[in-house]
Amino acid sequence: MKLLHTADLHLGKIVSGVSMLEDQRYILNEITKIIKHEEVDGIIIAGDLYDRSVPPTSAVSLLNDTLFHWNVELKLPIYAISGNHDSAERLNFGSAWYKNTQLFMAGKLMKTIEPISLAEAEIWLVPYHEPALVRELMQDDEIRSYEDAMQAITKQIRSVWDSSKAQILVGHAFVAGGIPSDSERQLSVGNVDRVSTTAFDGFDYVALGHLHHPHAISHPTIYYSGSPLKYSFSESQDQKSVRIVSFSGNKLTEVREVPLIPQKDMRMESGTLQDLTTNLLDHPEDYLAIRLEDKGALIDPIGKLRPFYPNILHLERKKLEITTQNEDRFEELMKKDDIELFDQFFEHVRGESLTKKQVDLMTAIFNEVRKEEN
């Protein structure tokens, strides 16, 4: 048996005001190619199908078309759960009858989890849950933390599982020691959202969502697939991928990464304005965070870069390094009055000094401002 493991699709995600929907459509199509090429027997989506609990209709229709293609046209079972970004109730809609086509969509955590029973494996869908919900479901006041909650759930599973079969858990959690990125929403303040790896003892494969780095943890049986796209610049070094998980009978035999190549990459670049606009970077259509290395003042740098790089998402200036030379200059600057300082700035920007008339005008303005301040 061969399964494809993905998670954290975040359909409808907007990064720095830019919708990622077309990139998401493209990458889902790439995943479809992998599904066909690898001839997988099923698809795991470990939560965060959408980016928000009330996703835009364009995201709903993209998920609808994708699931229809995978499940109905390609006739593949889908094992999906809700993540912390999804609405458990909304994702749960239809789950009872979707099962008829082997679309297993667990939106809400139930009191007792029923396994999806295959010939040589059992798959347990554990949707994202807060400790309070598990405390209530299990009527156990001892359940206080995410750790307690997951331990209680997996303990219950172990008490009923068929140990002659491969045991697969699909979950959405922050495993202790995992490396976060900037695009996950914190589950709680501090480190109380962590679940230790021992909660998953005994499972042959744990397919997780939540952390977006594909190597957020290193463990022989617990894996994050990572998000299929980079959703923050903290992920710019990631090679995004899906995992192909193979079993021979009830034994896990291979966990392999298949890289995903996006339509537009997300990366960080640096250089001077002059450099960047004369020696064009490769793939100028990519989503870029640009760090300008110019020292002096710049007029409308973003306006000058946009014609070459239409998808700049972030622009920053190199921080001035404090040197003794700068400190001397700072002392010198402190001695100057407002007009002298403004004149220096004006000259820097315009390349010419203030005229007598402009000096008089600025003096009047400074006086007025000072009057108002007093």
For Mn ion, the binding residues (CB under 5 A) are 8, 48
Q: For the sheet with 222-224, list strands across it.
A: 116-117, 121-126, 166-172, 205-209, 222-224
Pair 324, 346: CB distance under 8 Å:
no
CB-based closest residue to Mn ion: 48
Residues of 125-139 as b/e, b for ≥16 C-beta within 10 angstroms? bbbbbebebbbebbe
At closest approach, how far in Å is the CB of 92 from Mn ion? 18
Give whichever of 8 and 148 is closer to Mn ion, judged by the CB atom. Answer: 8
Q: How far is the CB of 77 from Mn ion (least distance, A)?
A: 23
Nearer Cβ to Mn ion, position 1 or 49?
Answer: 49
Residue number with CB closer to Mn ion (107 or 115)? 107
Identify which of residues 52 and 219 has a Cβ nearer to Mn ion in the complex: 52
In the three-class reduction of DSSP (H, G, I as helix; E, B as strand; rest coil), residue 160 is classed as helix
Q: How far is the CB of 83 from Mn ion (least distance, A)?
A: 6
For residues 48 and 238, which CB has a smaller minimum distance to Mn ion in the complex?
48
**Of 54 and 119, which has the nearer Cβ to Mn ion?**
54
CB 2 within 8 A of CB 249: no
* Min CB(210)–Mn ion separation in Å: 6
Q: How far is the CB of 102 from Mn ion (least distance, A)?
A: 25
C-beta atoms surrounding 282 within 10 Å: 6
DSSP annotation of 50 reads B
Q: How far is the CB of 78 from Mn ion (least distance, A)?
A: 18
167 three-state secondary structure: strand
128: CB partners within 8 A, 6+ apart: 47, 81, 82, 83, 84, 86, 88, 172, 173, 210
